[in-house]
Structure 1
Amino acid sequence: MAAEIVEPSDPISPSHALVRVDVETISETIRRALGLGATRASRDELAETDETLRGHVTLLLSDIRETASRQLHSFETQQLTRRLDRIKQHLAHPFGQGPLTADAEVHQRARDCQWLLAYYTAEARR
């Protein structure tokens, strides 16, 4: 089962997001994105990877926000909410125009996705 790519503007129902998250597909996308820094990836390859990562981040972000909204308000919940807000703000950044900027955007988006996936899988084990 592959993870469905969801555009940032699409509404996602958290109950449906649980079904659509494919940890292996997202993990592979993250590995590929982080590996692009070791090669001279084309702008098209970076753009395609960024688009895929945006879909994964949006999917995970929606589900984790839903989980956070059900938690008791605490310092940890506030920290989580701030981190999710920063990741959401980063989603609003347009894809970089220059090769260095584009590479940096993909790398940061991959790190955001990696953190979200780690949090998601940890919560799923609880």
Structure 2
Amino acid sequence: MSGRANAPAAQDAIDADSISETIRQALHFGSVRPSRDERAAVDEILRGHVRLLLGDVRAATERQRHSFEAEQLRKRMDRIEQHLNHPFGQGLLTADAEVHQRARDCQWLLAHHTARVGW
């Protein structure tokens, strides 16, 4: 695992390349066997990315009209936010599942952020 990805501070700008690298590392865990500590470290970085992206995407969604799509986005973001409150799993299978889910959540949020910025 590289030490390239760092947990973002609240004031940091969204660095899509860094976030993508962290997502790649987390999803790569299915083909390698990192230690629980390595998984936990990547999970913590992902949590920071998710918090940062969640705030950005939620703010953009709030500016949209009350449409079906906006409501679906809000529901998904609520589920992602609830998942942030769960502690990191103690078992390796649970930890793997949580890191992968958090990576997918982060990937989804990054896609929405990137699509909005690209408009």
**Under a length normalisation based on structure 1, what TM-score does the superposition of the two structures give?**
0.86
Residues paired across the two proteins, number: 115
Choose the corresponding residue for 2:41, options 29, 39, 48.
48
Give % identity: 62
Corresponding residue number in structure 2 for 1:9: none
| Residue 44 to residue 90, structure 1, CA distance change in 2 (3 Å) | same
Corresponding residue number in structure 1 for 2:72: 79
Once the 2 structures are TM-superposed, how far is the Cα of residue 99 of structure 1 from its aligned partner?
Answer: 0.7
Structure 1 segments, 4+ long, off by >3 Å, are none
Once the 2 structures are TM-superposed, how far is the Cα of residue 41 of structure 1 from its aligned partner?
Answer: 1.2
RMSD, aligned α-carbons: 1.5
Q: Distance in 2 between matches of 1:67 and 1:94?
A: 28
**Under a length normalisation based on structure 2, what TM-score does the superposition of the two structures give?**
0.91
Choose the corresponding residue for 2:110, options 103, 117, 123.
117
**Does the 8 Å contact 1:4/1:20 carry over to 2?**
no
Q: Distance in 2 between matches of 1:68 and 1:3?
A: 27
Q: 5+ unaligned residues in a row in structure 1: which ranges? A: 7-11
Greater helix share, structure number? 1
Q: 5+ unaligned residues in a row in structure 2: which ranges? A: none
